[in-house]
């Protein structure tokens, strides 16, 4: 599937991100498990809805607000 290939390429360039394909109902429990339950946590993840083999799926990508310098994330983007 094209979306999986694209995210694998993204992950190879930014190894600090993580991703998982889930059923749509699994997204909120997974976000809670990751500790992303606050309003300001929204910048740390993204959810992409897509169809695969006739079924609705959700691609959850997290650690988006963390750069390559995990000790000082703000420094990473300068």
Q: What is the pLDDT of residue 68?
A: 58
Global pTM reads 0.74
Residue 71 in this model has a pLDDT that exceeds 90:
no
DSSP assignment of 1-60, as one string? -HHHHHHHHHHHH-TT-EEEEE-GGGHHHHHHHHT--SGGGGGGEEEEEEEETTEEEEEE
The structural domains of the chain, with segments of one domain joined by +, span 2-76
pLDDT tens for 15-50 read 889 999 999 999 999 999 999 988 888 888 999 999
Report the distance separating Cα 14 and Cα 18, nearest Å. Answer: 9
Q: How many CB atoms lie within 10 A of CB 60?
A: 19
pLDDT attached to residue 49: 94
Residue 19 pLDDT:
93
């Amino acid at each position: 599937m094209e979306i999986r290939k694209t995210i694998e390429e993204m992950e190879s360039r930014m190894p600090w991100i993580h991703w998982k394909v889930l059923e749509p109902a699994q997204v909120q429990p997974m976000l809670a498990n990751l500790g992303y339950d606050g309003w300001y946590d929204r910048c740390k993840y993204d959810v992409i809805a897509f169809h695969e083999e006739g079924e609705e799926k959700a691609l959850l990508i997290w650690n988006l607000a963390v750069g390559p310098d995990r000790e000082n994330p703000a420094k990473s983007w300068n």
